[in-house]
Structure 1
Amino acid sequence: MNRLNGVDIARYLAFVGMVLVNFRLAAEVSGGSDIGSLITDNLEGRAAALFVVLAGVGASLGKPAWHLTLRRALFLFVVGMLNMLIFEADILHFYALYFIVAMAFMRRSNNSLLLGVAGFILVGFVAQLMLDFDRGWNWAMLSYHDFWTIEGFLRHSLFNGWHPVFPWAAFLLWGMWLGRLKLSRWTVQIGMVLGGALVAVAAHQASAALIHDPEIGALMSTEPVPAGPLYMLASGATAVAILGAVLLITPVLLALPIFRRLCDAMIVAGRQTLTHYVAHILIGMGTLEALGRLDGSLQPMQIFWISITYCAFAALFSWLWSHKFKRGPLEAIMRLITEGKT
């Protein structure tokens, strides 16, 4: 149970990171030199990567049948496409595509998963070298003009969207491989922290050395767009280190009464991230828009504390909801539609 609880807490923390990034993006707030901006800058691309890695971990731990995975993917695709109507940086419809990829690897060996990770990163890198990554984008408005066409949808989903299948599906396969480790062992957890941190630092140092190369420097960044190989390596390694650290500290925190209730709230919130992801767009961003604050008028620290406060209320909602219901609202709807169970 500590192992599962640690994964849930890590998932909640990934959600917090995504809220910080998405609220700042929606509010058109530029980064500053304050601590809030520094934190959010470092979470950009990393929180979403951790979110996808944890989805892979969950897939390995749960071992769902392929037809159930397919039904869940279809549900997420529909919800994600509806979400795209109001928030163009949606990740749910990408999730659906990642899970379709995962279906082909569910019963494969560990080596096959690692080859899949390398393959998706390599294909993504080659595509970035050979194709026009800017096609379809209006970078000034952060909009994609032909998404709702077949060609534009395929290009955005597979190649140059916010989280394209090539290479982002590698994060899900990487998480599936991690989920097969003995995550409850403290030796494995310490290895994840140290190994992940060392690889992440090495990737950033390699990026600093190669980013000025006139031929491939633009793809050697550790920024998430475009998701070059060093970004994938740095973010995947960071996800490993964070997951290892959370797994390591969770049993300690749960044993301390002062932290127990806080952990309980994060655990149940981590199990309801589908609900919270959609809610942070509809309710969180919707409230800010209704108040007229999505116009760039907020200061960096203001949007940072708004984000943190929203996430705290989200955890409180989950904790209260869990006293009456086993699953979050959207999680229960997905279970009803995909499994016919309440």
Structure 2
Amino acid sequence: MSQTNERITALDFARALAIFGMIIVNYKLAMQAENGGPAWLQSIAGLFEGRASALFVVLAGIGVSLMTSKARNSMNEELIRQSRNGLYRRAAFLFVAGVILLLMGWSADILHYYAVFMLVAAVLIAVSDNKILGLFLMILLTSQLLLVVFDYTQGWDSSFKQYAGFWTIEGFTRNLLFNGFHPVFPWLSFFLIGLWIGRKRWLNKENRSKVLLYSLSGTVVFETISFVLVQWNTPAFGKAAFYLFGTKPMPPNMLYVLSGICSALAVIAISVYMVEKFENSLLMQAVIHTGQLSLSHYIGHIVIGLGLLETVGYLENGKLSIAMAYGIVYFMLAIVFSAVWRKWLKRGPIELIMRKFC
């Protein structure tokens, strides 16, 4: 298998891991199980918070970069126009899908944010690597400044479960850009770094060991900096230290983004190694297929997975062990479904629908 195809299947494998992490985090959130269960289980569940979604967005950036590489490399105006129109249609589809999930009561949706990322990608197809990096840094620094200038808690209740005025123009815009679950500032940074990485040869055989080493080291460094700053500043600034220097996804500050990028790259590098070693195994193929159906599984784990819990009256049970177990079982069923589905069709159910529009 060529290195290009190997990289693409590795990205699919990493995408499946991201879906698994998002399922765990979202089921814990939906079941209101953030603080329940033993400490060791809380620690395991906490590993996925903000990391799985960050990985998902970085992978989206890499995927779009690979998808538009022909247009970018040729600089053919017609190819660029076609690629842009395809991204515009995809943005419209994802926005509508996301709004439907929001109307169904899923406030932690990521798809309507993705729509903005796709619009940005359409504009940046022919832009140089340095300009993408410059925009990344601008978004990162602006996001940190916004946390200082504006009230991040505006609109949220004390538990960060309900958002007042969400369906007003002001509330929706504020949530989308600044203080939603995956706001454009700074989550666009994850997407932009993915766009940039997709243009590089970082995942080729000669580079991947360096990527793994540097990304793991970066994660440790940024987490250590965060820990020191939070501990050092706590007596003087109270919660402001965590607010400005913590590495949790809410609020999403600079250290969280940098640590999240490093951990995402580490998972991608590990995925390349695993696919290279175990690609011919049935389980590996099934997990890769799960990543290829990621949009279907994202929507499915909300509509089907949470819908089933609501139907039986067990949605807000508050038990972390149940949330974790349910998430693991759902993901296992998703793997089986993907393996069977891909025997007949190349794209997942939602992917097929999107294909008709995009």
Deviation at 1:109, TM superposition (A): 1.7
2:127 paired with 1:108: yes
Q: Is the 8 A contact 1:183 1:189 kept in 2?
A: yes
Q: Is the 8 A contact 1:56 1:173 kept in 2?
A: yes
Aligned residue number for residue 20 of structure 1: 24
Kindly provide the CA deviation profile for residues 246-299 of structure 1, in whole angstroms up to 9, marking residues without a partner as x.
1122110114xxxx111111111111111111110010011111122122353x
Gaps of 5+ in 2: 72-82
- Following the alignment from structure 2 to structure 1, what is the Cα–Cα distance between the partners of residues 124 and 318? 47
- Following the alignment from structure 1 to structure 2, what is the Cα–Cα distance between the partners of residues 277 and 35? 27
- Could you tell me the TM-score, scaled by structure 2's length? 0.90
2:54 paired with 1:49: yes
List aligned pairs for 1:291-302, cutoff 5 A.
Answer: 291-298=312-319, 300-302=320-322
Count of residue pairs brought into register by the alignment: 333
Q: Is the 8 A contact 2:152 2:179 kept in 1?
A: yes
| Letter in structure 2 aligned against 1:207 | S
Secondary structure of the 2:332 match is helix
Aligned residue number for residue 130 of structure 1: 149
- Following the alignment from structure 1 to structure 2, what is the Cα–Cα distance between the partners of residues 284 and 134? 29
Secondary structure of the 1:138 match is coil
Secondary structure of the 1:308 match is helix
Q: Is the 8 A contact 2:203 2:211 kept in 1?
A: no
Aligned residue number for residue 76 of structure 2: none
2:348 paired with 1:328: yes
| Letter in structure 2 aligned against 1:103 | A
Deviation at 1:184, TM superposition (A): 4.6
Secondary structure of the 2:324 match is helix
Aligned residue number for residue 278 of structure 1: 299
- Following the alignment from structure 1 to structure 2, what is the Cα–Cα distance between the partners of residues 310 and 55? 23
Given the alignment, which residue of 115, 118, 122 partners 1:99? 118
- Following the alignment from structure 1 to structure 2, what is the Cα–Cα distance between the partners of residues 232 and 141? 20
Q: Which stretch shows the higher mean deviation, 76-85 or 183-192?
A: 183-192
Q: Is the 8 A contact 1:12 1:266 kept in 2?
A: yes
List aligned pairs for 1:61-210, cutoff 5 A.
Answer: 61-63=66-68, 65-85=83-103, 86-140=105-159, 142-210=161-229
Q: Is the 8 A contact 2:96 2:112 kept in 1?
A: yes
Q: Which stretch shows the higher mean deviation, 34-43 or 219-228?
A: 34-43
- Following the alignment from structure 2 to structure 1, what is the Cα–Cα distance between the partners of residues 44 and 275? 22
- Following the alignment from structure 2 to structure 1, what is the Cα–Cα distance between the partners of residues 318 and 182? 28
Secondary structure of the 2:58 match is helix
- Following the alignment from structure 2 to structure 1, what is the Cα–Cα distance between the partners of residues 250 and 126? 32
Q: Which stretch shows the higher mean deviation, 14-23 or 37-46?
A: 37-46
Deviation at 1:151, TM superposition (A): 0.5
**Percent of pairs with identical residues:** 37
Q: Is the 8 A contact 2:139 2:186 kept in 1?
A: yes
Deviation at 1:187, TM superposition (A): 2.8
Gaps of 5+ in 1: none
Q: Which stretch shows the higher mean deviation, 99-108 or 166-175?
A: 99-108
Kindly provide the CA deviation profile for residues 71-92 of structure 1, in whole angstroms up to 9, marking residues without a partner as x.
1001000000110122000000
Kindly provide the CA deviation profile for residues 130-184 of structure 1, in whole angstroms up to 9, marking residues without a partner as x.
0111111113251111110000111000011111001100100101111122245
**RMSD of the alignment, in Å?**
1.4
2:260 paired with 1:241: no
